[in-house]
Structure 1
Amino acid sequence: MGSRWSVLAYVVGAVCFVISCSIAVFYGYKVLTHQLPIENKVQAKYQYHFVLVPEELDNEYWRLVEKGARAAAMQNHVLLEYVGPEQANIDDHLKTIQMSAASKVDGIMTQGLSDQQFTPLINRVVEKGIPVITVDTDAANSKRLAYIGTDNYFSGYMAGKALIADTNGKANVAIITGSFYKNHQQQRVKGFEDAVKSEPGIHIVAEEESNISRVRAAEKAYQILQSHPEVTAFFGTSALDGIGIAEVVEKYKSKDHLYIMGFDNLPETIAYIRKGTIQATVVQQPFQMGYDAVNMMIDIIKGREVQTVVHTNTRIMRAKDLTKLQQEDLEGVR
């Protein structure tokens, strides 16, 4: 009798053990299947993981680059991260690239920066097998695999020639540039200077730095007008410079006596052109840059041959050019 009870006890214990294990396995499975599907879905949905590092995160110009990149990313099953400094800062920019490389992303798209700090980092990233494309501003001395964006020297040259035409070759010009040290700003200034240097009636009387800040651009414009009352024209080489200059001109000086050449077609720039405060601006194609950069990165990963330098179109926009087509281009509509 005792042996029967012992057998029964063992059977009951075994059944309880099996049930316990089954419950543990069941709930373990439930936990896992509530944690992993997100990753599985990401792996199934996205073929590549790219990072786009802008000059400044909430800059309206770079938001258009992001918009183009996201459009291409959605079409090609790419997970796109848009990360970078809140305000233009080379150290934060470099840290973002370092973190992206450490995360072993499939590709990095970034604005090119100064050779001294930027080139060694990009070279290390590429040597580790992560392709890098520069967007908007090149870093030609690095091992970046391709560049897509404006020919910045040519855009400055174009601005200079447009200013000559619009002022009949007679102007005392002040230049406000986003940065004395960034490649694309240097190239725009150099192009402009080369365009006007042979004109006897064009004189560059001042050059100041805005640090890619509208407020700073306005401060510098005000200081220039106080120190150089002979100034009759301004050239702003970054997207916010023309806007800052226009604010000061409207507030302190008759807009009819000053010519302003801006850069990019942000909504405020367009509004100032409509009012006649800004006479012209250099228009780039940031949406196209972002869109083509993603497609170019995919081609590189797949081993396809790509052009190492692709210059997007640049043009001068004046009030007469403000049509529905330009407005759609401003909004990034393809």
Structure 2
Amino acid sequence: MGRLSVMAYTFGTLFFIVSCSFSIFYGVKVVTHDLPSEKKAQVKYNYHFVLVPEELDNEYWRLVEKGAKAAAKDYGVMLEYVGPKQSNIDDHLKAIEMSAASKVDGIMTQGLSDEQFTPLINRVIEKGIPVITVDTDASNSKRMAYIGTDNYYSGYLAGKALIADTKGKANVAIITGSLYKNHQIQRVKGFEDAVKAESGIQIIDVWESDISRVQAAEKAYQILQEHPEVNAFYGTSALDGIGIAQVVQKYKNNGQIYIMAFDTLPETLTYIQKGIINATVVQEPYEMGYEAVIMMIDIIEGKKVPSIIHTNTKILKVGDLPPSHPDRMEARQ
């Protein structure tokens, strides 16, 4: 091997050793730098709960989640928010089953139908995992407690308010989130019972929106085409009133159609301020979520809790909006 070859070989060897040294040094530096941050990220929780909503990105359920997460933070609970992206009972049931299989400490969910939810809730309870129903009860199941709206009463309030506002004369079309889910059924039934003694009020038809503002708008338009005598709507889910209002605003003069909506989403309140939606049923989703977490902790710790807690329900009209924020009303926190 010539002198130049020896020098090239030696230089190459040194370069390789130095490169490896730098790689090892920086590699160790990255690892030792990351380890402390990983340790800091580890948080100890007292319990692990899961909240399963009807629909993940539903604005109403985001308020329930917000309340539950606030309570989870206050009481040292790890809270997961999992469920179907769009309203789907099969996906909802799967989310509950997977949560139970992961052996969480407690599950909070709706009891959307007795036929499907009751046996699943009973199986979860038998495995030793407590279940609380939120917003919609499964009263025939072994669920530990229910917190949420008295859905029959809320429908009854809506009916009585409509009677007063229309002076007992209206041809009403009902658009409901579902014809098969417990809370929607009760909201329709309460309304029907409230108006049945009024000879001047006729329920023309009941249509389903599948908890979709797009479908609610489509159904409202179709109803107005098929039943021109309709001069009042009652929407039983948070998105129904918004969908109805969109159609009425576009195709009818304000004041021709009375609209009773549900919930206080910002868009609903804007329509109330504009005089397109006449009234809405107010629920307390934030409180439902917050109190559900506390109830679950109490159950796990052996404390006695009421089997049913009904959160407040009332009717809101334009005159009830806060003057400082006329187009919005935050959930009570």
1:253 and 1:217 map into 2 onto residues whose CA distance is 16
Displacement of 1:151: 0.1
Q: Structure 1-normalised TM-score?
A: 0.87
Determine the structure 2 residue equivalent to 1:4. Answer: none
SS of the residue aligned with 2:79?
Answer: strand
Displacement of 1:229: 0.4
Q: Deviations over 1:245-287 (max 9, x none)?
A: 0000011111211100000000000000000000000000000
1:298 and 1:326 map into 2 onto residues whose CA distance is 36
Displacement of 1:329: 9.0
Determine the structure 2 residue equivalent to 1:52. Answer: 51
Determine the structure 1 residue equivalent to 2:42. Answer: 41
1:162 and 1:48 map into 2 onto residues whose CA distance is 43
Please tell me the residue identity of whatever aligns with 1:152: N
Is residue 187 of structure 2 the alignment partner of residue 188 of structure 1? yes
1:208 and 1:302 map into 2 onto residues whose CA distance is 44
Determine the structure 2 residue equivalent to 1:156. Answer: 155
| C-alpha contact 2:321 2:327 (8 A) present in aligned 1 | no
Please tell me the residue identity of whatever aligns with 2:42: K
SS of the residue aligned with 1:134?
Answer: strand
2:198 and 2:315 map into 1 onto residues whose CA distance is 20
Determine the structure 2 residue equivalent to 1:311. Answer: 310
Q: Deviations over 1:115-156 (max 9, x none)?
A: 111111110100000000000000001110000000000000
Please tell me the residue identity of whatever aligns with 2:95: T
Please tell me the residue identity of whatever aligns with 1:141: N
Q: Deviations over 1:141-173 (max 9, x none)?
A: 111000000000000000000000000000000
Aligned pairs (5 A) from 1:1-334: 34=35, 41-42=42-43, 45-323=44-322, 330-334=329-333
1:324 and 1:67 map into 2 onto residues whose CA distance is 25
1:135–1:326 Cα change, 3 Å: farther
Comparing 252-261 with 186-195, which one deviates more in the overlay?
252-261
1:132 and 1:165 map into 2 onto residues whose CA distance is 40
1:112 and 1:183 map into 2 onto residues whose CA distance is 7
Displacement of 1:332: 3.4
1:56–1:35 Cα change, 3 Å: farther
1:199 and 1:47 map into 2 onto residues whose CA distance is 54
Please tell me the residue identity of whatever aligns with 2:156: Y
| C-alpha contact 1:68 1:332 (8 A) present in aligned 2 | no
1:314 and 1:333 map into 2 onto residues whose CA distance is 12
SS of the residue aligned with 2:54?
Answer: coil
Unaligned runs of 5+ in 1: 1-26
1:258–1:187 Cα change, 3 Å: same
| C-alpha contact 2:172 2:230 (8 A) present in aligned 1 | yes
1:146–1:326 Cα change, 3 Å: farther
| C-alpha contact 2:121 2:143 (8 A) present in aligned 1 | yes
Displacement of 1:41: 3.0
Please tell me the residue identity of whatever aligns with 2:91: D
1:81 and 1:284 map into 2 onto residues whose CA distance is 23
**Which aligned segments of 4 or more residues in structure 1 are displaced greater than 4 angstroms?**
33-40, 324-329
1:143–1:328 Cα change, 3 Å: farther
Displacement of 1:331: 2.7
2:220 and 2:163 map into 1 onto residues whose CA distance is 21
Give the length in aligned residue pairs: 303
| C-alpha contact 2:321 2:329 (8 A) present in aligned 1 | no
| C-alpha contact 2:269 2:328 (8 A) present in aligned 1 | no
1:325 and 1:138 map into 2 onto residues whose CA distance is 36
Displacement of 1:327: 7.6
Q: Structure 2-normalised TM-score?
A: 0.87
Displacement of 1:330: 3.8
SS of the residue aligned with 1:58?
Answer: coil
